[in-house]
Amino acid sequence: MTKTDPASIVVPPHWHDNTEADNAIAALTARVVALEGAAPTPPPVAGAIYGFASAATGGTGKPVVRVTTAAQLIAALALSDTFVSVAPGTYALPSITYLRGDNVTVQGDAIAPGVTLTGYPIWIADGATNVILRNLRHRGGLDVGESGDCFVASNGSSLLAFVNLSASGYSDEGLDSWTNNHDITWQDCIVGPGRNPAHNFAHLIGNHSYNLSIFRTLYHSTMYRNPAVGWDDNTSALSPQAIVGDVGNVIVWNYTAPVGSVAYGTSIYYGAKANVRNSLYKGGIRAGEAVDVMLGAQMYQSGNVSRDGKTIRGHNVLNPFPVPASAILPVLPVTTDNGAALIASIKANAGCRPLDAEDTAALAALS
């Protein structure tokens, strides 16, 4: 692995607002590439991280590790206190790749053809804290059941930011948070279909995770869990936490089920406490409820639109669940323009950049 002197690189702890993700993904990218001897690209300026992981700094100011092969990437993810700069290309992961370190950024170059992962997932685990995954796409490709996610948080990990990720081709879920995680943001992501039409589940949250933000993310051509926000999947006991999930400005488009099944949009269930606000839904074949609450959960919802009139369940609490000022999502209104501004924002910001053909088609379908 090639290391670049971190003293020569400035990685801002927070990103500036109001820019498109075509310019996103790190001001660092061009500088690292230049120091590695490749032709630099104009320094991009990326958007802020919002929500419960807004304080994440990841590998800011830490040694930079440049990776160009899957073996190098796997080795780098075993480190703490590191900024992992991933060169464009395809990286086949032969087994679950665990990230257990603290203060880590893993960031793909915003240079064609972009960074594509295949095979097994990246799994942030076992109490890892202050981690940013940014500008990576994972196209799965394996039928390996519950080991076939794309990007996972598990086992007490915290202060995690999943930003500008694209996921599809999974055999379980594209995105996943399971078991005692907290203070996580998923932002500007695109989750497409999995490998099995009968288990085409986009984004699962459960088993006592809390303080979770899902913002400005597209779920398309999936069947269920767009996202599904739960707390206790065994008893449906109500969460003792002030809030489990804060969902804002997501688009769930063409959620579709095979014969004999029903597709669902966003589900709040199993004792979770969640807000669902200013989001846009359009069902596909055999689409059911756009937004639902069940199994002991509590939901506050407002400002959501179903383009095809699918049911948006009314909230079963009177007021939104509280979110600290540092975690407030800057959501756009949807009801005033039928989601036009949100669609434009998703097109400008979501997904791993530069877009591949799959994501380009998914964004083009929004109208």
Q: Could you read off the pLDDT of 100-117 as tens digits, one per residue?
A: 999 999 999 999 999 999
In the prediction, which pLDDT does 5 show? Answer: 33
State CA 288 to chain mean position distance.
24
Total H helices, total E strands in the chain? 4, 26
Residue 350 pLDDT more than 80?
yes
- Average pLDDT score over residue span 327-349: 97
Lowest mean pLDDT, pick from 20-29, 114-123, 175-184: 20-29
Residue found under tokens 């949250």: 205
Stated as kind and residue range, the H or E segment containing 27 is: helix 27-36
Phi/psi for 55 (5° steps) reads -85, 0
Phi/psi for 298 (5° steps) reads -125, 135
In whole angstroms, give the CA distance from residue 231 to residue 298: 11
Residue 252 pLDDT more than 70?
yes
Compute the radius of gyration of the chain from its Cα atoms.
19
Q: Which domains does the chain have, with CATH numbers?
A: 51-364 (2.160.20.10)
Residue 7 pLDDT more than 70?
no
Q: What percent of the chain has pLDDT over 90?
A: 86
What is the full DSSP assignment across 67-87? E-SHHHHHHHTT-SSEEEEEP
Residue 128 pLDDT more than 70?
yes
pLDDT tens by residue, 76-109: 999 999 999 999 999 999 999 999 999 999 999 9
pLDDT greater at residue 13 or residue 203: 203
Mean pLDDT of the chain: 89
List Cβ neighbours of 275 (8 Å cut-off, separation of 6 or more): 243, 245, 246, 247, 248, 299, 300, 301, 320, 321, 323
In the prediction, which pLDDT does 24 show? Answer: 39
In whole angstroms, give the CA distance from residue 367 to residue 151: 28
In the prediction, which pLDDT does 46 show? Answer: 55
Residue 17 pLDDT more than 70?
no
- Average pLDDT score over residue span 13-24: 37
- Average pLDDT score over residue span 263-279: 98
